[in-house]
Amino acid sequence: MRYADRADAGEPRADDEAPHVLIVDDDHRIRSLLERFLRKEGFRVTSAESAGQARKRLEGFLFDAVVLDVMMPGEDGFSLLATLRADANPPLPVLMLTARTEPDQRIHGLELGADDYLGKPFEPRELALRLTNLMRRRPETQRFVRFGRFVFDIRREELSSEGEPIRLTDRERRLMRLFASRPGATIPRHELVADEDLGDRAIDVQINRLRRKLEDDPAAPRYLQTIRGLGYRLLADPTET
């Protein structure tokens, strides 16, 4: 059956370990059907009806793949794809979904970094299989970052100390996600300011609040370090091999 005919997609599965897919399409009917079908197939699904809404979703969640429509009102899928390829590290697998399958459109998407193309109409099962194959080819990323007695779960965005959870505010959680995604690397101040939409002084306040939860002596931080003139870094334990 084509995507327009598949209605029996079952109930969503609540599985925190399932791969998380972002669907970006301005067609409500397609979004709704794909949400139901992919959840039945074992995916977690979040959707967006525009590129702008997708950007907000990407700021708030971690995803394993993106299904991206090309032709949308306002900003199109190619523009969002270019941003994803510039910002995401490691790059997210992106499957372009479009009714426009002319060779020049496909080539343009591939030049921008799309991993796969699927034209409308399509079989939902084929889309699910293509997503699975894309994620299998994606390099393994580190899920847990350890530093001293602390562990940060990047997927769940949870911090614990010797097995006991530590409460984080939404802003602290976003900061930890950013630091943990690049352990040992210096995150420039301007990137932190832009990511949090805060001024320089406000970033310093947020860092100091986070240090009070991570450091025995926040005035002499061991883990969340200041790199003078550049920014901050999270000094994590070496990964085991």
* CATH code where residue 154 lies: 1.10.10.10
Same domain (yes/no): 104, 178: no
Find the length of the chain.
241
Provide the pLDDT for residue 156: 82
Provide the pLDDT for residue 180: 87
Same domain (yes/no): 69, 153: no
Q: Look at the pTM and tell me if it is higher than 0.75.
A: no
Provide the pLDDT for residue 52: 92
Provide the pLDDT for residue 4: 37
Provide the pLDDT for residue 5: 36
Same domain (yes/no): 126, 174: no
- In whole angstroms, give the CA distance from residue 133 to residue 54: 23
Other beta carbons less than 10 A from residue 236's beta carbon: 20
Same domain (yes/no): 72, 163: no
Same domain (yes/no): 172, 86: no
Same domain (yes/no): 120, 185: no
Q: What percent of the chain has pLDDT over 90?
A: 42
Provide the pLDDT for residue 14: 42
Provide the pLDDT for residue 197: 63
Tally DSSP H helices, then E strands, for the chain. Answer: 8, 12
* CATH code where residue 36 lies: 3.40.50.2300
Provide the pLDDT for residue 103: 73
Structural domain total, the chain:
2
Same domain (yes/no): 226, 157: yes
For the chain (241 residues), the mean pLDDT of every run of 10, in chain order, is 35 59 94 93 93 87 88 91 75 83 75 87 90 77 84 88 91 89 83 69 90 94 91 80 37
Provide the pLDDT for residue 141: 58
Provide the pLDDT for residue 217: 94
Which residue intervals of the chain are DSSP H helices? 28-40, 51-60, 77-87, 103-112, 124-137, 170-181, 189-196, 200-214
What domain range includes position 201? Answer: 144-234
- In whole angstroms, give the CA distance from residue 97 to residue 69: 5
